[in-house]
Structure 1
Amino acid sequence: MRLSELGDKEIVNLYNGSRHGQLADAELLFDPKQGKIKGLMVPETSERLSFMGSRDYIQLPWSSIRKIGEDIIIFEAEL
């Protein structure tokens, strides 16, 4: 799977069903020494905007990703 194919996938929390936008809205966090993805910075929610229209982000460890499906990325975290 190419990175470009991941961008349209919606990010959803299995714990409470909250939606956190698409992967294109997130930032990948890399470990520069190992060259591996260590986590994601995802918008807190796709509906809420904070002061002046900016978004708050949540850092998710890569280990919280449960499934990358055809249209969705599911993670599990109690936020």
Structure 2
Amino acid sequence: MAALGGAKGLCLEQETGSLTVGKSADLVLCDLTQLSLLPRTDPIGLLVLGRPSRVVDSVWVRGKRRIEAGQFCG
């Protein structure tokens, strides 16, 4: 896992690098039903290279929700 390897390289594996209770995490939840992600033959490729619009549903930064249902919160 690249995140864990990077955390180990920075001596931060006790704080981040894997999805474990008590560790810090940043997560993005994308809505894969959006029309900007058509055709659905390669949704990951489209997310990275396709410049989709309005696909971010939720975002957590350091475990705190910052975007919910596409709107900023908190």
TM-score, normalised to structure 1, is 0.29
**Hey, which of these two has a bigger chunk of strand by percent?**
1
Q: Which has the higher contact order (CA 8 A, sep 6+)?
A: 1
**Hey, which of these two has a bigger chunk of helix by percent?**
2
TM-score, normalised to structure 2, is 0.31
